[in-house]
């Protein structure tokens, strides 16, 4: 890093500001878009925390720095960050880089507006409603409501809050004292935000009743019925069922038609957490996995995952047409939501959410959809399914790879069985030893920077890899590489 010199303020110097931004954008194009997506480059350059702190020089000082130093800062940040757009990044439910979505994100950040009133975000208020209308249509609704949320966890929490308010509207004013003991139902495969949401909303985690799932991780509707009856017998009031379309680990899709039948008979709100699997609705080939979703009351869907819209892009969709979102969350702040404005105040959507300031999350999806079209996005989804199937079939041909189960979605779950454990399945310590393999391989791949794959234990199963096939840039060659790389990294184990 160059010696520190006082930096003249750029606050009122548009020429210097333009020069800085052009240089920064150049760094981004070179280091993130080109190198970050190149299979010949590392996914990450691992450093231990103390060393990384020194390399980044994180301390904030009283004196500013020169443009050259700021560019070096940007280069260092990029160098030591994980390249989630890299074709060998399989670690999360999001990956890849869509240039049109990125363009939308750049425009969004540059305009720096808040999506709460039409007067300061006219383009984005209209755009958000059009995008939400399109997503609702794919669910199967001709009308309804919705909002973009800061992540799928918040979408799920909003759904719980809305279901509670619809059943007990007095709770908005009177709080928990207006409520009897409540019960909501989901499986152990659900996203952890359901339990977090129950705690955050004051229901308590004990209010979450766990419904049994089958061996593939799908909710068993008969046990849902049993758990509802059991909750009622214990004096609780059932109010919501949260089904999952695309579970986080196994990629399971709950049987929505049968679950909807139970909810209809019992008068319960049906929420579908399709944060991960919702984008499958774009595929005519695979959308049957979500059959029955049109019967839900609410749906969470994250286009930033399988569609590669970029973090964050998380929609909560509602079948409701009674303005439930505003009635539940609104507080009519008079300095924002004046009722005597010169335009239709129904366009002020800020009172639909708990937030005040809300970032624009619709432009990146809208721009990507404009560029790709629904057909292009459908091909993207279908390609991910095809590559996941290719990978699973290739694993069956190689010694040392064992599928946890046949993938139904683009989550490929498997064990790598190293040479020393092959043929030893009958050994008493086999499972214990096998569970230690994934953490060792994860450390090796990360420190070499060759790829990133997630792992976890699951129920009675010891650690196994969960590989996500979502990056639209992936090819069969990338699938072959990861198999070869696991064999190389694990050959001495």
What pLDDT, in 10s, does the model give residues 162-194? 999 999 999 999 999 989 999 999 999 999 999
Answer with the one of 339, 359, 379 that is the final residue of a domain: 359
Q: How far apart are CA 142 and CA 138, in angstroms?
A: 9
With pLDDT > 70 as the criterion, what percentage of the chain qualifies? 98
Q: pLDDT tens digit string along 23-51?
A: 999 999 999 999 999 999 999 999 999 99
Whether 338 and 380 share a structural domain? no
Check whether residue 291 and residue 314 sit in a common domain: yes
Residues 145 and 52 occupy one common structural domain: no
Q: Write out the E strands in 160-236.
A: 182-187, 208-211
Residue 300 and residue 379 share a domain: no
Q: Is residue 8 part of a domain?
A: no
**Do 190 and 320 fall into the same domain?**
yes
pLDDT over 60 at 471, yes or no: yes
Q: Is residue 423 predicted with pLDDT exceeding 90?
A: yes
Domain membership flag for residue 5: no
Domain CATH number, residue 333: 3.40.640.10
In this structure, are 290 and 392 located in the same domain?
no
| Residue range 318-349, pLDDT digits in tens | 999 999 999 999 999 999 999 999 999 999 99
pLDDT at 384 > cutoff 70: yes
| Per-residue confidence (pLDDT) for residue 8, from 0 to 100 | 57
Q: Give me the CATH number covering residue 424.
A: 3.90.1150.170
End residue of a domain, out of 326, 359, 392: 359
My answer on whether 293 and 176 are in the same domain is yes
Per-residue pLDDT tens over the stretch 113-166:
999 999 999 999 999 999 999 999 999 999 999 999 999 999 999 999 999 999
Q: Are residues 342 and 441 in the same domain?
A: no
Parent domain of 471: 371-490
Binned at pLDDT 50, 70 and 90, residue 7 comes out as low
Q: Say how far apart CA 303 and CA 364 lie, in whole Å.
A: 10
- The domain boundary, picked from 330, 359, 388, lies at 359
In a domain, 128, yes or no: yes
What pLDDT score does 438 carry?
Answer: 98
Instruction: Mark whether 207 and 311 lie in a shared domain.
Output: yes
Q: Evaluate if residue 5 carries a pLDDT over 60.
A: no
Residues facing 186 on adjacent strands: 210
Q: Do 215 and 329 share a domain, yes or no?
A: yes
pLDDT for 399: 96
Distance, CA of 17 to CA of 10 (rounded, Å): 6
Residue 6 has pLDDT above 60, yes or no: no
Q: What is the pTM of this model?
A: 0.96
In a domain? residue 88: no
User: What's the mean pLDDT in 398-402?
Assistant: 97
2 within a domain of the structure (yes/no): no
Question: 89-90 and 452-458 as β-strands: parallel, antiparallel, unpaired?
Answer: parallel
Count each helix (H run) and each strand (E run) in the chain, helices first: 15, 12
Residue 6, domain member (yes or no): no
The answer to whether residue 1 scores a pLDDT higher than 70 is no
Bridging pattern class, strands 461-468 and 452-458: antiparallel
222 and 265 housed in the same domain: yes
Regarding whether 121 and 66 lie in a shared domain, the answer is no
Q: Which pLDDT band holds residue 317 (cuts at 50, 70, 90)?
A: very high
- pLDDT score at 220: 98
Domain total of the chain: 3
Q: What pLDDT is attached to residue 491?
A: 95
Q: What percent of the chain has pLDDT over 90?
A: 97
Write down the mean pLDDT value for the chain: 96
Longest dimension (CA), the chain: 77
Would residue 336 count as lying in a domain? Answer: yes
Within-domain flag for 439: yes
Token pair of 432 as six digits = 């214990």
Mean pLDDT over 449-455 rounds to 98
């Amino acid at each position: 890093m160059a010696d520190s010199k006082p930096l003249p303020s750029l606050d009122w110097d548009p020429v210097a500001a333009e020069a800085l931004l052009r240089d920064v954008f150049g760094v981004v194009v070179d280091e993130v878009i080109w190198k970050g997506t190149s299979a010949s480059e590392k996914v990450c350059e691992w450093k231990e925390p103390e060393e990384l702190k020194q390399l980044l020089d994180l301390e904030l000082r009283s004196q500013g720095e020169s443009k050259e130093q700021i560019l070096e800062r940007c280069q260092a940040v990029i160098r030591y960050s994980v390249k989630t757009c890299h074709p060998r990044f399989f670690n999360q439910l999001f990956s890849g880089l869509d240039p049109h979505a990125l363009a939308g994100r750049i425009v969004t950040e540059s305009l720096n507006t808040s999506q709460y009133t039409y007067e300061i975000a006219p383009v984005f208020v209209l755009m958000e409603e059009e995008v939400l209308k399109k997503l609702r249509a794919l669910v199967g609704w001709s009308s309804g409501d919705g909002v973009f949320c800061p992540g799928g966890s918040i979408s799920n929490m909003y759904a719980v809050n809305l279901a509670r308010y619809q059943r007990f509207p007095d709770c908005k004013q009177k709080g928990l004292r207006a409520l009897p003991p409540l019960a909501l139902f989901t499986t152990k495969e659900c996203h952890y935000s359901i339990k977090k949401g129950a705690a955050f909303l004051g229901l308590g985690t004990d209010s979450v009743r766990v419904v049994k799932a089958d061996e593939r991780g799908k909710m068993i509707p008969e046990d849902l019925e049993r758990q509802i009856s059991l909750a009622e017998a214990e004096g609780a009031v059932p109010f919501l069922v949260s089904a999952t379309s695309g579970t986080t680990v196994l990629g399971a899709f709950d049987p929505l038609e049968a679950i909807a039948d139970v909810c209809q008979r019992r008068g319960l709100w049906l929420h579908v957490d399709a944060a991960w699997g919702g984008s499958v609705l774009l595929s005519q080939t695979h959308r049957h996995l979500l059959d029955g979703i049109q019967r839900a009351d609410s749906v969470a869907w994250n286009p930033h995952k399988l569609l590669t819209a970029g973090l964050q892009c998380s929609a909560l969709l509602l079948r409701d047409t009674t303005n439930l979102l505003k009635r539940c969350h609104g507080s009519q702040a008079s300095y924002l939501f004046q009722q005597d404005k010169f335009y239709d105040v129904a366009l002020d959507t800020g009172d639909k959410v708990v937030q005040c300031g809300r970032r624009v999350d619709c432009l990146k999806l809208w721009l990507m959809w404009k560029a790709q079209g629904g057909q292009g996005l459908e091909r993207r989804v279908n390609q991910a399914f095809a590559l996941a199937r290719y990978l699973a079939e290739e694993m069956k041909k190689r010694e040392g790879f064992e599928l946890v189960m046949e993938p139904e979605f683009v989550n490929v779950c498997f064990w790598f069985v190293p040479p020393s454990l092959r043929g030893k399945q009958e050994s008493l310590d086999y499972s214990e030893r096998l569970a230690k393999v994934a953490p060792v391989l994860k450390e090796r791949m990360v420190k070499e920077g060759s790829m990133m794959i997630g792992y976890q234990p699951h129920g009675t199963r010891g650690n196994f890899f969960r590989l996500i096939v979502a990056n639209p840039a992936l090819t069969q060659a990338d699938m072959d590489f990861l198999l070869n790389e696991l064999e190389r990294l694990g050959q001495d184990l």
